[in-house]
């Protein structure tokens, strides 16, 4: 027996537990911040905070055996459940919640995440982690916001190919098509023409029959493309939107640029070819 008698039973004050509650709550809120895109924190810092919280909880449990059972009843199940919840939410965040990064302007203009109508194909951006419908019905109100009629009409390119040699026509169409491709197509097929594996097929060196044939190529740009296709050994099952709102000259320029870039040499598409395809 100790010279000082039996060990005295000690209970911590309410303030002691209040400080612990406040500390754990603060750490948890900081951990949840990146999940809801309030701010970004490096993964190592999040791991350190989780370790600190775990240490505090373990130390608390070690002292609770000498304290009133009511505190153990208050802390044990809720804290354990809260830690599990935060861990699961952090693990799922990379697959479920959008990241703080944003997609390019063309992607945001063409697709939208709040679309809730019929959709035959959804794709997830590898940049923002957001889901986009690639085949939505046209929303005239939203389309008008991004493409005001007056601005669209004023922006139509003027290109007179009359009197040019075939090589000159090709050069002018490729030059115009490069800019139009960057605005309308590069978000999916990328400026390199390599596309995005599993989402958007490559155009560079494409062996897809619909791309090889100029008439089919024009029809795809005009009407879009839905369903499973195989390009260079890869399978793609998305839905390409229609670009029929573009002029014959614009579509001819895009097609000619695609058919003569990234090592492709597949000939020229003229505006009259597009007019015939319409």
Q: Which residues neighbour 131 within 8 Å (Cβ) at sequence distance 6 or greater?
A: 113, 122, 123, 124, 125
**pLDDT value at position 220?**
93
Q: Are 79 and 71 in contact (CB under 8 A)?
A: no
Spans of all domains in the chain: 14-96, 105-125+132-277
Please, what is the angle between helix 166-184 and helix 248-259, to 10°?
100
pLDDT, tens digit only, all 278 positions of the chain = 444 444 454 566 667 778 878 888 888 888 777 766 676 777 788 788 888 887 777 776 666 555 555 555 555 666 667 667 767 766 665 555 555 566 776 666 666 555 666 676 777 776 776 777 776 555 544 444 444 444 444 455 567 888 889 999 999 999 999 999 988 888 889 999 999 888 889 999 999 998 999 999 999 999 888 888 999 999 888 778 888 888 899 999 999 999 999 999 999 999 999 988 88
For residue 126 the two structure tokens come to 């590898």
**pLDDT value at position 133?**
74
**pLDDT value at position 158?**
65
Q: How far, in Å, CA of 263 to CA of 259, rounded?
A: 9
φ, ψ (nearest 5 deg) of residue 203 = -105, -25
Q: Is 68 helix (H, G, I), strand (E, B) or coil?
A: coil
CA angle 113, 185, 255 (to 5 degrees): 150
Q: Measured between alpha carbons, how far apart are the two ends of the chain, in Å?
A: 101
Q: Indicate the burial class of 91 (C-beta count within 10 angstroms; 0-12, 13-18, 19 or more).
A: exposed
Q: Indicate the burial class of 176 (C-beta count within 10 angstroms; 0-12, 13-18, 19 or more).
A: buried
**pLDDT value at position 74?**
59
**pLDDT value at position 216?**
93
Instruction: Annotate 214-250 with DSSP letters as a single string.
Output: HHHHHHHHHH-EES-EEETTEEE--EEPP-TTS-HHH
CATH class of 105-125+132-277: mainly alpha
Q: How far, in Å, CA of 205 to CA of 176, rounded?
A: 21
Q: Are 227 and 220 in contact (CB under 8 A)?
A: no
**pLDDT value at position 110?**
65
Task: Give buried/exposed letters for 107-124 (b at 16+ CB in 10 A, else e).
Answer: bbbbbeeebeeeeebebe
Q: Indicate the burial class of 50 (C-beta count within 10 angstroms; 0-12, 13-18, 19 or more).
A: middle
**pLDDT value at position 66?**
57
């Amino acid at each position: 027996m100790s010279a000082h008698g039996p060990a005295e039973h000690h209970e911590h004050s309410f303030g002691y537990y209040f400080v612990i509650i406040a500390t754990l709550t603060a750490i948890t809120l900081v951990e949840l911040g990146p999940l809801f895109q309030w701010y970004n924190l490096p993964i190592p810092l999040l791991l350190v905070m989780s370790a600190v919280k775990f240490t505090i909880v373990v130390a608390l449990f070690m002292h609770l055996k000498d304290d009133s059972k009511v505190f153990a009843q208050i802390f044990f199940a809720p804290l354990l459940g809260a830690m599990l919840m935060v861990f699961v939410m952090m693990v799922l965040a990379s697959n479920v919640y959008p990241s703080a990064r944003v997609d390019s302007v063309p992607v945001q203009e063409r697709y939208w995440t709040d679309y809730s109508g019929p959709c035959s194909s959804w794709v997830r951006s590898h940049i923002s982690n957001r889901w986009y419908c690639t085949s939505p019905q046209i929303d005239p109100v939203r389309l008008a916001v991004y493409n005001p009629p007056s601005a669209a009409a004023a922006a139509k390119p003027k290109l007179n190919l009359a009197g040019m040699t075939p090589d000159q026509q090709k050069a002018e169409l490729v030059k115009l098509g490069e800019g139009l491709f960057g605005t309308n197509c590069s978000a999916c097929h990328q400026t390199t023409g390599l596309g995005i594996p599993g989402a958007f097929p490559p155009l560079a060196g494409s062996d897809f029959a619909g791309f090889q044939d100029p008439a089919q190529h024009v029809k795809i740009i005009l009407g879009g493309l839905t369903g499973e296709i195989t390009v260079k050994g890869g399978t793609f099952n998305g839905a390409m939107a229609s670009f029929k709102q573009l002029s014959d000259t614009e579509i001819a320029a895009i097609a000619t640029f695609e058919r003569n870039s990234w090592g492709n040499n597949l000939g020229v598409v003229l505006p009259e070819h597009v007019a015939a395809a319409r």
